Amino acid sequence: MTGMRILIVEDNPDILANLYGFLEPKGYAVDSARNGYGGLALASENNYDVIILDVMLPGLNGLELCQKLRTELSSATPVLMLTARDSLQDKVQGFDSGADDYLVKPFSLVELDVRLKALARRAGGQHAFSRVLRFGPLVFDPDQQQASRDGVRIMLTKTGYILLRCLMAAAPRIVPREALEQAVWGEDRPESDALRTHIHALRQAVDKPFASPLIHTIAGVGYKLAMPDAPG
């Protein structure tokens, strides 16, 4: 099976480099994120044949991310968990979160390839049932790049759509500034406070025309979506 599209969510740069070096020459299309929020953003935007997911991730750990894939994104994409822990309890937690298979570090790249092919074959090429994100009056369809609030269409820039997707996928949890910057700029983050400017523009579109704000700043941490009657 060639041409598989794979998402890797792994914060260890050496492991990530090894996976890229092994998978890309086989003809696989590989995307990656270094934290859980970045992985959630990519998974909400794209269709993948398999997701390789490290359990120990900064921000949103692998178990939490897998649960969000299954519940909030209604994603049926096969998930292969990577972990340094080999206890039965750890494996049970992984499967309970929605994982399809489990590999313990250090692992054989050949075995990884065999398992990826088996997972993709088992899934039969079927992807998520629905990738439309919803939070209260907000609706966002990443495939169509269309957003609305209370049925009113919201027009955003490309960066605005990325930020909205991250906030909606994590809601009502806080998304750290670093995770939003990673989702927009990857490792090439600007030195200036460009994120604040983009959040301001997002607020102008999502909040200003309406009676109450949904986007909230958590000082020194990041941003989150919250309903008007929810505690700050």
Taking only the tens place, the pLDDT of each residue in 155-206 is 998 889 889 988 988 888 898 988 888 888 877 777 778 899 999 999 999 9
Could you tell me if 105 and 159 lie in one domain?
Answer: no
Count of domains in the chain? 2
Rounded average pLDDT over 62-90: 84
pLDDT(88) > 80: no
- Is the whole model's pTM more than 0.85, yes or no? no
Could you tell me if 16 and 66 lie in one domain?
Answer: yes
CATH number at residue 82: 3.40.50.2300
Going 64 to 22 to 131 to 77, the CA torsion angle's sign is negative
Q: Quick one: which H or E segment has residue 52?
A: strand 50-54
Q: How far is it, in rounded angstroms, from Cα 137 to Cα 188?
A: 33
Q: At what angle do helices 13-23 and 109-123 cross, to 10 degrees?
A: 70
Could you tell me if 96 and 191 lie in one domain?
Answer: no
Calculate the CA 155 to chain-centre distance. Answer: 22
Domain that holds residue 112: 5-123
Asked, for residue 166, whether it belongs to a domain, the answer is: yes
Could you tell me if 99 and 194 lie in one domain?
Answer: no
Q: Which of 123, 154, 179 is the last residue of a domain?
A: 123
pLDDT(116) > 80: yes
Could you tell me if 186 and 111 lie in one domain?
Answer: no
Asked, for residue 128, whether it belongs to a domain, the answer is: no
